[in-house]
Structure 1
Amino acid sequence: MIVVFVLVGLVVLGVVAGLHWYVWRRLVRDTTRGAGVARRVGTGVIVAGPVLMVGALVAERGGAPLWVQQVVGWPGFLWMALAIYLLLGVLAGELVRPVVRRLLGHRSGPGRSIRPRSGAESVVFQAEGVDAPSAAGGRSGPPPAVRTRPPVSGGEESKEESNGDPSRRLFVSRVVGGAVAAGAVGTVGYGAYGVLRGPRIKRVTVPLAKLPRSAHGFRIAVVSDIHLGPVLGRGFAQKVVDTINSTQPDLIAVVGDLVDGSVKDLGPAAAPLAQLRARHGSFFVTGNHEYFSGAAQWVEEVRELGIHPLENARVEVDGFDLAGVNDLQGESEGQGPDFGAALGDRDRTRACVLLAHQPVQIHDAVRHGVDLQLSGHTHGGQLWPGNLVAELANPTVAGLERYGDTQLYVSRGAGAWGPPVRVGAPSDITVVELASLRA
């Protein structure tokens, strides 16, 4: 098993190195001449970036001291996001590059090529019957030999463009490379700003057939995937708490992936959660990242903070049942989800809302007659086009969908894992308002 793990790791590192070489080739080698300062700086950035990225991942999963995780985490995880969009930009640039060359070729005019040379300007005349000026400036003497060449087929670079006109190739590479770099930096910068400013409030109304009139308008503030860790710390937790409290919910549901680290390291970062306020209290279920961070300790920690863990358990709340199951990752520790314990003996004439971190748990929820499942886990894809990958692994990536008589709502989450960046998947705290059909 260890040998397989090492081999897989080497393959992954090889792929990462190859992709970075490709980015270096297009953005550094093709846009610079010789071994100048620009090339050395660009090469240094392309080499340091992936080293810090791997270091950030190893430090987090390896349990390095928190200060080490913080030092390598910020630049390493930001580079992870930047590398994605540099690569996508370079790939898109391959489509743009021939278009730019062709436009430049049209502007220079047909039938001639003008290239600066050392000491003088030489013009190759290709129109028949035109005399070239003599070295002395006159027009005497035989005309130069006329050289002809077949037309270049569409999509194929001429020999002149590929070999004889390096200044044009350099210009095109700089235009395309500059656009790629600016686009990637701008995308990642705006995506980081979106995370660090804190999640926005989203409101969704969900009608439940079994909900009594007395519970009509009941509001649940759903927050998932806060991911407190070496990058998002206490200040971010305070923003989340303040945003939730501003909605004045009836109940707060923390649907997993609260942390990426131990209670010892991140207990102070999670302390603001003690300020959560709701008429019927706050409830918590584990996510997969809790089991990478010491789930049992975190369950006790959130209890100390005044949040009620639902470990395969159920409570009655103002006209409906609120249940929670452990995350699937808990199976590795013998603490996986137990739908029988949470839902097996309940009165099915009552409406039931289930907290389950992963959307894939919806199929068990349907079998147990749940009316609404609240989940997170997907981050909405977090970094486009990550949503396309998330769709392959989850029945619903974000939003509200129906599965038989059960509805599933998936939050994009409040924080971010890895890069503190979101692109095409803004963070949210969702206020789910339950509606009775009898109202």
Structure 2
Amino acid sequence: MGFLVTILATVVVVHFYLWWRLVRSTTRPGSRARRVLTWTLVGLAVPLVATRAGGRIAGVGFERVVAWPGYLWLALMFYLVVFSVLVEVPRAVALLPAKRAGRREAAASVMAPSAMPVAAGSGAPLAEAGASGSPPHEQQAGGAGIDRRLFISRTAAAVAGAGALATVGYGVTRALGDPVIERVPVRLPRLDPRMDGLRLAVVSDIHLGPLTGKGHTERIVRMINGLRADVVTIVGDLVDGSVAELGPLAAPLRSLESRYGAYFVTGNHEYYTAEGPREWIDELDSLGVRSLRNERVEIRHAGAVLDLAGVNDLNGQASGDGPDLGSALGGRDAGRPVVLLAHQPVQVREAAAHGVDLQLSGHTHGGQMAPFNLIVPLQQPVVAGLASFPRAGGGDTQIYVTRGAGYWGPPVRVGAPPEITLIELHA
């Protein structure tokens, strides 16, 4: 409940700021334009709230109806705020002359005589001051000042609007386009030379949900199969709903091809459904994708062995289904290299304490919509790409964080294109 109140409060504050900058500052009081724009802004907030609240209450079917306008407005709203904030300083600088002119006019009006000459014998002023009591030249100057303020405010609003529209438009094309194939060579000192060149396809954060169709999964499967990987790994956040709602969208995973199998670990979103992750684990098993639940398997290649381990996501802790590296790695041959599948990069520190050679993770989306990539480090040690952390017993635990092949919320990616990764191991 507290989280929902926080979200609603944020939505209200953001919409008020946008009204203040894009409506109030660009229209005259009482004008028809101000009324229309105000109600338009209120109307845009409705599908945004309905997308999240309605989806949880009425299910994915209802969410599909409101998701496109709701999520697109969320992205547009975000970038309107970003661009509006960016133009605040130039806007203020441009308004300085108008403010100075206003202060000069106010000072002049205070110093002006209180009495005016009158026509002889009539008691009437020689010149009418107008309804406001200001001389005509001051009204004209004031009018010019107001026009200047409106012009500058409208120009700033136009710049913010154009920037937001262009950014979101670009982001939609990237989010809905083909994922980028990232080919990443990784050297593991403990890797048996006979396993040199072993290829692992890594995909994460597919996020099957109200805005994706079966074609989204089919494209990802087709691209993975084109890599001819030895092992396929799905590192969490596959779905945003139940098997009953999204089962058909996951069906193409049955066609995944690899020499030594396809493996899955849970992400935080698998724990957000009322049914929990168990039904998806069973569903994936029927599709030929094995879930690694705090356990490991041996990958035997050219007479050598590599341990492939997987742990549950941290969000499973609340239900007693959290990660357990002790179970996943206990009792193994410490001379073998081990690759760990763990959805969240933050788990790498514990992995390093257990002597893991390489961790494969997702979760961050690479920030998905810049400048969120600047905020991710507050929670996760790596935003995207390859990094190293000191390992217990010497050496380093390497981690590769994929940006994910889908998107969450707005179908928009800016500065973080979707990704499928091919990790090639070398001795």
TM-score range, shorter chain: 0.7 to 0.9
Counterpart residue identity of residue 235, structure 2 = V
In the other structure, the counterpart of 2:272 is 292
Deviates more, 1:25-34 or 1:329-338: 25-34
In the other structure, the counterpart of 1:92 is 86
Residues 164-207 of structure 1: CA deviation (Å, up to 9, x unaligned) = 52111111111111110010011111111101113111111100
In the other structure, the counterpart of 1:349 is 335
In the other structure, the counterpart of 2:189 is 209
* Residue aligned with 1:178, SS: helix
In the other structure, the counterpart of 2:407 is 416
Deviates more, 1:89-98 or 1:365-374: 89-98
In the other structure, the counterpart of 1:28 is 23
For residues 37 and 428 of structure 1, do their structure 2 counterparts lie closer, same or farther at Cα, with a shift above 3 Å needed?
A: farther
In the other structure, the counterpart of 1:72 is 66
What stretches of structure 1 of length at least 5 have no aligned partner?
Answer: 114-158
Q: How many Å separate the matches in 1 of 2:360 and 2:141?
A: 59
**1:216/1:434 contact within 8 Å kept:** yes
For residues 289 and 161 of structure 1, do their structure 2 counterparts lie closer, same or farther at Cα, with a shift above 3 Å needed?
A: farther
In the other structure, the counterpart of 2:38 is 43
* Residue aligned with 2:375, SS: helix
State the superposition RMSD in angstroms.
2.5
* Residue aligned with 1:28, SS: helix
Counterpart residue identity of residue 365, structure 2 = H
Residues 339-377 of structure 1: CA deviation (Å, up to 9, x unaligned) = 111101110101110100011111221121110000001
Deviation at 1:29, TM superposition (A): 2.4
In the other structure, the counterpart of 2:123 is none
2:50 is the counterpart of 1:55: yes
In the other structure, the counterpart of 1:386 is 372
Q: How many Å separate the matches in 1 of 2:177 and 2:36?
A: 32
Q: How many Å separate the matches in 2 of 1:17 and 1:88?
A: 16
In the other structure, the counterpart of 1:232 is 212
2:285 to 295, 303, 308: 303
In the other structure, the counterpart of 2:132 is none
* Residue aligned with 1:33, SS: coil
Q: Give the % identical residues.
A: 50
Deviation at 1:63, TM superposition (A): 4.8
Q: How many Å separate the matches in 2 of 1:221 and 1:350?
A: 21
Counterpart residue identity of residue 71, structure 1 = V
In the other structure, the counterpart of 2:306 is 320
Q: How many Å separate the matches in 1 of 2:199 and 2:289?
A: 17
**1:344/1:368 contact within 8 Å kept:** no
2:177 to 197, 204, 210: 197
Deviation at 1:277, TM superposition (A): 0.9
**2:74/2:410 contact within 8 Å kept:** yes
For residues 188 and 162 of structure 1, do their structure 2 counterparts lie closer, same or farther at Cα, with a shift above 3 Å needed?
A: farther
* Residue aligned with 1:27, SS: helix
In the other structure, the counterpart of 1:425 is 416
Q: How many Å separate the matches in 2 of 1:63 and 1:377?
A: 25
**1:162/1:169 contact within 8 Å kept:** no
Residues 360-409 of structure 1: CA deviation (Å, up to 9, x unaligned) = 11122112111000000111111212112210101111111111121011
2:151 is the counterpart of 1:180: no
Q: How many Å separate the matches in 1 of 2:45 and 2:409?
A: 14
In the other structure, the counterpart of 1:363 is 349
Counterpart residue identity of residue 13, structure 1 = L
Q: How many Å separate the matches in 2 of 1:312 and 1:175?
A: 57
For residues 100 and 268 of structure 1, do their structure 2 counterparts lie closer, same or farther at Cα, with a shift above 3 Å needed?
A: same
**2:206/2:407 contact within 8 Å kept:** yes
What stretches of structure 2 of length at least 5 have no aligned partner?
Answer: 106-138, 391-395
Counterpart residue identity of residue 30, structure 1 = S
**2:98/2:149 contact within 8 Å kept:** no
Q: How many Å separate the matches in 2 of 1:254 and 1:213?
A: 26
Q: How many Å separate the matches in 1 of 2:54 and 2:95?
A: 45
* Residue aligned with 1:345, SS: coil
Return the TM-score normalized by structure 1.
0.82
* Residue aligned with 1:165, SS: helix
Deviation at 1:15, TM superposition (A): 3.5
Q: How many Å separate the matches in 1 of 2:33 and 2:227?
A: 51
For residues 204 and 165 of structure 1, do their structure 2 counterparts lie closer, same or farther at Cα, with a shift above 3 Å needed?
A: same
Counterpart residue identity of residue 371, structure 2 = P
Deviation at 1:76, TM superposition (A): 1.0
In the other structure, the counterpart of 2:224 is 244
Deviation at 1:12, TM superposition (A): 4.1
Counterpart residue identity of residue 329, structure 2 = L
For residues 282 and 12 of structure 1, do their structure 2 counterparts lie closer, same or farther at Cα, with a shift above 3 Å needed?
A: closer
